[in-house]
Amino acid sequence: MAAAAFLTPYRAAGYVTDSTPVAVHRQGGETFAVTSVGRSFQIYNCANLRLRFVGPQLPGRIRALQVHGDRTFAAIGGDIHVVQRAEVIGVLRGHARPVRHLVWLGELLVSVCAGRLLNGWLVLGKGAELDVPALTLQLPADLSPSAVLHPATYLNKLLVGCSSGALELWNVRSARRVYRFEGWGSAVSALAQSTAVDVVAIGLESGKVHVHNIREDALLFSFSMDGGAIRALAFRTDGVPILASASDRGHVALWQLDARRLASQVEFAHEAQVCTAHFLAGEPVLLTSGADNALKMWLFDQPSGGARLLRSRSGHASAPTRVRFYSDGITAASAGAAGASDLLSAGSDRSFRRTSLWLQQQDSELTQGHVIAQARKRGRNTRPSHLK
């Protein structure tokens, strides 16, 4: 019997997340983070960042994720695969171009593709009728969506940010544009809902962050972040007026909204673009993911109001160049045949890592943390070489 007949992939060791934004959801009093790892996804419990589940192998690279209960929705090309636990129960086929955004609008899952087609899907029932969208809206040719948000309490409405710099509010049920904002002369790269109704944060490619009242079309205040385009935004939800902004150079800035100033900044929180920023509900904890294959949680318990790294899961930020089996008492030459459970690897990201084939929480970096700590003590530049 051919190997392909009885061998199927399970997971890629050392792979934590890629550049697809993480989907965060609560279920049964717990918070979970769903990360994309190429053609599959992984689910982590945010209480300890332990890997709880590995999804099935899908036919292509995942470009967008959303979750509801035990269902995961993964956009691959123009299709959206509906996975219930480990089983693909349906495929939503309604886009001719690649799907870029997935967002919840009440009970509707809204998908927006590169061809500016917006589809709304009723996917939460028990039936198998998943192939026909409940609504369809073709956005105009001058509107190229780069960020999408459902503003809280705005029934049937989506806020659509564009690569041209425009920002528009659409009623997807009536298929009409409700309002067009003037814009800020730079592509909209991130949107986030604040804890206050009508107030959203708007991140731009220029590095600007605007806090805006969309009902009054009134700019409340603005910030300017050094370190490239804004890739993610998040408001604290535990009563402390803090806005986090993350850049494509790996920085995370914390803005004090009452004082309208920079409270603190975590430089190179990631060694590449930050793809996700999400404050856990009612907690002083920020979850971030980066294109450096890292998922991190930051705790705000410093007297200065700053954050410290609480826990993380990470792998090589770039492809490893040397990989060897390792097990205590087993030589490298015979480790694979003897059933070694660990890998030793080194890569061009300047790190040397030990990776468990069975328990991801046992993975560890053997060099880089020590090198960075020593460099900081000596006042050296700790910026990763590939970001200089």
Q: How far is it, in rounded angstroms, from Cα 252 to Cα 265?
A: 6
Contacts of 374 (CB under 8 A, 6+ apart): none
DSSP string, 343-363: EEEEETTS-EEEEESS-GGG-
Q: How confident is the model at residue 376 (pLDDT cuts 50, 70, 90)?
A: very low
Three-state secondary structure readout of 59-103: CCCCCEEEEECCEEEEEECCEEEEEECCEEEEEEECCCCCEEEEE
Least confident piece of the model among 32-41, 199-208, 377-386:
377-386
Q: Left, alpha or beta for 85 (phi > 0: left; psi -120 to 50: alpha)?
A: left
DSSP string, 203-217: EETTSEEEEEETTTT
- Does residue 118 carry a pLDDT above 60? yes
pLDDT in tens, 12-58: 888 999 999 999 999 988 999 999 999 999 999 999 999 999 999 99
Of the candidates 35, 15, 31, the one whose C-alpha atom is nearest the C-alpha of residue 23 is 35
Residue-averaged pLDDT of the chain? 88
Q: How far is it, in rounded angstroms, from Cα 230 to Cα 247?
A: 5
Structure tokens at 345: 């690897």
**What pLDDT score was predicted for residue 331?**
47
Predicted TM-score (pTM) of this structure: 0.88
Q: Average pLDDT of 210-233?
A: 95
CB contact at 8 A, 294 and 314? yes
pLDDT in tens, 322-344: 988 887 654 444 444 445 678 89
**What pLDDT score was predicted for residue 328?**
65
Q: Average pLDDT of 181-201?
A: 95
- If one compares 251 and 305, the residue with the highest pLDDT of the two is 251
Q: How confident is the model at residue 112 (pLDDT cuts 50, 70, 90)?
A: very high
Q: How confident is the model at residue 176 (pLDDT cuts 50, 70, 90)?
A: very high
